[in-house]
């Protein structure tokens, strides 16, 4: 976890900052990040695609009534204790995910703001309005103390409508969220307790959070968090976000073997299962999804890793040469074969042979391949003896081999031989959660390769990519980022025009929250012309340097409501300098 700077934040400080935020509404006065507007920018809707995103996490809008039914049925079937534990842990997970989002998106964020971001996310997600009473944070010393009031909690609404007012607090999921978020931020367990709750007849809910150490006995609280599992499996602050499919995959650089989506993880899981065996593996999926990368990873994590990995794209070799490429040639086999040479099979002996686009092999080559697979031996072209080979064959195809069999273009027996262990690699549009990870991975790779320093991506560029169909899959994304790294300004961000042409954006409409909470179209495809272009570019507006200065000064003065000293400070000028420039500009 990127450690926030250590500091103690007093009550006065908190209320100064949050008061300022609430008064201003748009938080523009406060420079500390993330502000409320930064957080709402993470939420966007892709209705055409059936997805809602909070940064890179998929979300759903759910009726609180259904949530209430689910909650009631859990209580009725499992009993109060177990239902409470389940909901607390579910909430904990959401809180932890949101903490992860904030840590990664604002690694240098202001300490108070990153902690407050949890309360804002909780509100943005529609769960509860959080009003801070006081909090003190000192991550260095492992100190946390916070008190908050919860207004109109959804959980209480549902609990009260099902069970009426009782004697116990009922905001379990919300409490779990608070624990998950703050624990994720602090890197040590912080326990929240609900000391007043609407479900107990109070007018508001009040929660207090302290470190487990400061509370003393937290065994009661831990019961709902399933403490054993929790303490045994969590290592806060160290868990890398870019999870590779399994630990076995983590040692290699695995160019692009990055993802957290369930589709990607499922493929990785299958890969690590089959790697130690000698089974034939067939990768299926559209072109550009990373079949060769998976194949080479398979080799790297298999017991054959010390032996050669030989790859051949069957579609890239003229049909007449495929056989000699694969199986080798014996001297005198045909005119021009003046020397004997081994084929790819022999060169891959003891290792792995990757046959890409296997669907394009001729029926004759298919027969020879089948023999190699069945008997572990090959015969060179023009040769007379069988040569034993120990090769693990890994194949890939982007066509439907079963359909090829039906059409008589692919041998059925070979098909079944290859299909022992098929692994389907999903297209990128089905693993959109991985797009942000891949973006940062490739940015790192290409910035290093081309010696560029860049500040990342413009939010609207990321939003647009989240809605883009990626017909060319990961390879397309990879090329896009490389182009972006080269064409963006040094020290600047990669923006939409560096990545996509306007006509590529087309269909998928993305909506994000406007200033007043209503959905509006996100990411205009065309950026406003840069200041330079407006003044000096070929399509320069009727705007000159003096006009730019006048406009700048006027805007500063207007923003400061006519206060010249304040406007001058904003512009880095003295009051006298500003007054002079205003006079000069008329
Ligand atoms: Zn409550």
169 alpha carbon – ligand 1 mean position (Å): 6
172 alpha carbon – ligand 1 mean position (Å): 8
203 alpha carbon – ligand 1 mean position (Å): 9
Residue with tokens 């379990």: 172
> Could you read off the pLDDT of 413-459 as tens digits, one per residue?
999 999 999 999 999 988 887 887 788 888 888 999 999 988 888 87
Q: Which residue would you say has higher pLDDT here, 541 or 81? A: 81
213 alpha carbon – ligand 1 mean position (Å): 24
pLDDT score at 12: 47
> Could you read off the pLDDT of 475-487 as tens digits, one per residue?
999 999 999 999 8
98 alpha carbon – ligand 1 mean position (Å): 21
Contacts 24+ apart (CB under 8 A), 220-224: 221/191, 221/193, 222/191, 223/85, 224/84, 224/85, 224/88, 224/89, 224/172, 224/176
Q: In 3-state terms, what secondary structure has residue 310?
A: strand
Which of the four pLDDT bands, split at 50, 70 and 90, describes residue 24?
Answer: very low
Query: d(Cα 98, Cα 39) in Å, to the nearest integer?
Result: 11
> Could you read off the pLDDT of 137-176 as tens digits, one per residue?
988 888 999 999 999 999 999 999 999 999 999 999 999 9
pLDDT score at 573: 83
Query: d(Cα 117, Cα 248) in Å, to the nearest integer?
Result: 35
Residue with tokens 């300490």: 111
73 alpha carbon – ligand 1 mean position (Å): 19
153 alpha carbon – ligand 1 mean position (Å): 6
352 alpha carbon – ligand 1 mean position (Å): 60
pLDDT score at 333: 60
DSSP letter at 397? E
201 alpha carbon – ligand 1 mean position (Å): 10
The first and second tokens of residue 444, run together, are: 């790192």
Exposed/middle/buried for residue 483 (C-beta within 10 Å: 0-12, 13-18, 19+): middle
110 alpha carbon – ligand 1 mean position (Å): 29
249 alpha carbon – ligand 1 mean position (Å): 44
The residues, ordered by sequence, that sit 6+ positions from 206 with a Cβ below 8 Å of its Cβ are 133, 147, 148, 149, 150, 194, 195, 196, 197
pLDDT at residue 4 is higher than 90:
no
Distance of CA 332 to the CA centre of its chain: 57
Exposed/middle/buried for residue 244 (C-beta within 10 Å: 0-12, 13-18, 19+): buried
174 alpha carbon – ligand 1 mean position (Å): 8
Asked, as a colleague might, if the bond just before 61 is cis with ω within 30 of 0, I would say no
> Could you read off the pLDDT of 81-134 as tens digits, one per residue?
889 989 998 998 899 899 988 988 888 888 889 999 999 999 999 999 999 999
83 alpha carbon – ligand 1 mean position (Å): 16
270 alpha carbon – ligand 1 mean position (Å): 44
148 alpha carbon – ligand 1 mean position (Å): 12
pLDDT at residue 354 is higher than 50:
yes
> Which range is most confident: 25-39, 325-339, 465-479?
465-479
196 alpha carbon – ligand 1 mean position (Å): 7
Distance of CA 346 to the CA centre of its chain: 42
Query: d(Cα 586, Cα 581) in Å, to the nearest integer?
Result: 8
Which of the four pLDDT bands, split at 50, 70 and 90, describes residue 230?
Answer: very low
The first and second tokens of residue 137, run together, are: 């944070």
pLDDT at residue 526 is higher than 50:
no
């Amino acid at each position: 976890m990127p450690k926030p700077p250590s500091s103690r934040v007093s009550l006065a400080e908190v209320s100064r900052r949050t008061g300022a935020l609430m008064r201003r509404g748009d938080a523009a006065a406060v420079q500390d990040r993330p502000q409320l507007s930064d957080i709402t920018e993470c939420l966007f809707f892709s209705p055409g695609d059936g997805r809602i995103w909070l940064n890179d996490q998929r979300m759903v809008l759910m009726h609180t009534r259904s949530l209430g039914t689910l909650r009631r049925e859990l209580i009725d079937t499992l009993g109060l204790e177990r239902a409470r534990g389940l909901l607390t842990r579910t909430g904990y997970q959401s809180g932890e995910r949101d903490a992860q989002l904030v840590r990664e998106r604002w690694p240098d964020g202001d300490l108070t703001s990153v902690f407050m971001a949890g309360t804002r996310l909780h509100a943005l997600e529609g769960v509860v309005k959080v009003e801070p009473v006081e909090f003190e944070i000192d991550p260095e010393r492992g100190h946390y103390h916070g008190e908050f009031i919860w207004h109109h909690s959804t959980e209480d609404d549902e609990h009260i409508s099902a069970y009426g007012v009782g004697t116990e607090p009922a905001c379990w999921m919300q409490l779990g969220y608070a624990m998950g978020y703050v624990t994720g931020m602090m890197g040590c367990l912080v326990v929240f307790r609900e000391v007043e709750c609407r479900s107990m007849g109070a007018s508001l809910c009040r929660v207090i959070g302290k470190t487990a150490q400061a509370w003393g006995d937290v065994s009661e609280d831990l019961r709902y968090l399933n403490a054993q599992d929790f303490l045994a499996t969590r290592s806060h602050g160290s868990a890398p976000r870019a999870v590779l499919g399994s630990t076995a995959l983590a040692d290699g650089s695995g160019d692009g073997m990055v993802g957290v989506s369930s589709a990607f993880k499922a493929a990785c899981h299958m890969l690590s299962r089959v790697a130690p065996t000698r089974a034939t593996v067939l990768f299926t999926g559209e072109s550009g999804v990373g079949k060769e990368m998976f194949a080479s990873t398979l080799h790297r994590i298999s017991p054959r890793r010390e032996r050669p990995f030989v790859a051949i794209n069957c579609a890239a070799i003229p049909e007449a040469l495929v056989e000699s490429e694969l199986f080798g040639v014996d001297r005198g086999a045909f005119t021009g074969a003046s020397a004997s040479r081994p084929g790819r099979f022999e060169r891959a002996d003891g290792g792995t042979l990757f046959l890409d686009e296997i669907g394009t092999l001729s029926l004759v080559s298919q027969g020879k391949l089948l023999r190699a697979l069945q008997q572990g031996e090959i015969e060179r072209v023009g040769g007379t003896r069988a040569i034993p080979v120990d090769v693990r064959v890994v194949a890939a195809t982007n066509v439907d081999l079963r359909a090829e069999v039906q059409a008589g273009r692919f041998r059925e027996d070979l098909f079944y031989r290859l299909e022992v262990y098929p692994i389907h690699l999903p297209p990128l549009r089905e693993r959109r959660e991985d797009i942000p990870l891949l973006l940062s991975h490739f940015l790192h790779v290409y910035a290093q390769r081309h010696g560029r320093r860049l500040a990342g991506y413009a939010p609207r560029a990321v939003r647009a990519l989240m809605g883009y169909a990626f017909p060319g899959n990961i390879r397309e994304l990879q090329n896009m980022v490389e182009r972006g790294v080269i064409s963006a300004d040094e020290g600047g961000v990669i923006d939409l025009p560096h990545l996509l042409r306007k006509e590529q954006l087309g269909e998928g409409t993305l909506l994000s929250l406007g200033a007043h909470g209503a959905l509006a179209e996100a990411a205009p495809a065309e950026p406003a012309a840069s200041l330079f272009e407006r003044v000096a570019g070929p399509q320069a507006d009727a705007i000159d340097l003096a006009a730019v200065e006048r406009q700048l000064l006027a805007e500063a003065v207007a923003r400061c409501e006519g206060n010249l000293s304040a406007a001058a400070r904003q512009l880095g000028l003295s009051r006298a300098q500003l007054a002079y420039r205003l006079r000069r500009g008329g």
